[in-house]
């Protein structure tokens, strides 16, 4: 696994040591931030992309301590190999993901977003911030990366939600819908 939380035989890992401020954040939120991270990582291990890779087979470096990309109880941010974007777009063309229009509406700064379509509820959404790119020195050499923001959407479309205003509430800074009720 390129993320480095558990090994799947790859040595392509980013820094998995969170700074002290992130550990405090995880503790203050009763483990919800860590729970979110683990839920999303687990869900992404179950996705097979057209390349026959999972999302975590690409190089990932979590963004632990950046006010522009804060970890929260419903999403996290990471730098990911740019090749991952192309694989997700191909998955969209094959029908296993659908492109979300105007991603910046719900994800400020986002340029591209695709939602898994496999389930009626709890699909992984991968939102890319391609304007935030950088080259990261990975164990196998430099990796061209962009920011990815994975989260889990409970319904395939906004109108299918029992309370669509929860999305609006979340976008205004209120407490996000809690993933702990899903699993």
Q: How many domains would you assign to the chain?
A: 1
pTM confidence score? 0.76
Is 93 part of any domain?
yes
**Mean pLDDT along residues 170-178:** 52
Task: Check if the beta carbon of residue 21 is closer than 8 Å to that of residue 65.
Answer: yes
CB count in 10 Å sphere of residue 175:
12
Among residues 182, 70, 61, the alpha carbon closest in space to that of 133 is found at 61
Which pLDDT value is given to residue 73?
Answer: 85
Please give the full DSSP string across 63-123, using - where no structure is assigned: --S-TTS--BTTB--EEEETHHHHHHHHHHHHTSEEEPSSGGGTSTT--EEEEE-SSSEEE
Q: Say how many C-beta atoms besides its own lie within 10 A of residue 127's C-beta.
A: 23
Q: Is residue 8 part of a domain?
A: no
Q: Is residue 132 part of a domain?
A: yes
- Given a cut of 70, is residue 162 above it in pLDDT? no
47-64 pLDDT, tens digit per residue, is 999 999 999 999 999 998
**Position 172 pLDDT exceeds 70:** no
Q: Has residue 9 been placed in a domain?
A: no
> Residue 138 sits in which domain range?
20-181
In-domain check, residue 11: no
User: Is residue 167 assigned to a domain?
Assistant: yes
Q: Place 24 in a pLDDT band, splitting at 50, 70 and 90.
A: low
């Amino acid at each position: 696994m390129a993320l480095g939380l558990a090994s799947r035989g790859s040595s392509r890992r980013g820094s998995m040591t969170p700074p002290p401020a992130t550990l405090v954040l995880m503790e203050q939120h009763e483990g919800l931030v860590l729970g979110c991270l683990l839920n999303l990582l687990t869900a992404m291990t179950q996705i097979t992309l057209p390349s026959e890779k999972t999302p975590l087979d690409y190089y990932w470096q979590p963004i632990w301590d950046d006010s522009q990309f804060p970890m929260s109880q419903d999403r996290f941010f990471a730098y990911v190999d740019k090749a991952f974007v192309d694989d997700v777009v191909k998955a969209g063309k094959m029908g296993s993901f659908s492109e979300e229009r105007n991603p910046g509406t719900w994800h400020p700064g986002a340029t591209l977003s695709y939602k898994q379509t496999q389930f009626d509820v709890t699909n992984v959404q991968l939102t890319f911030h391609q304007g935030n790119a950088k080259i990261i020195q990975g164990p196998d050499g430099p990796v061209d990366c962009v920011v990815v923001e994975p989260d889990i959407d409970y319904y395939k479309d906004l109108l299918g939600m029992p309370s669509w205003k929860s999305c609006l509430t979340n976008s205004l800074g209120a407490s996000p819908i809690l993933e702990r009720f899903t699993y």
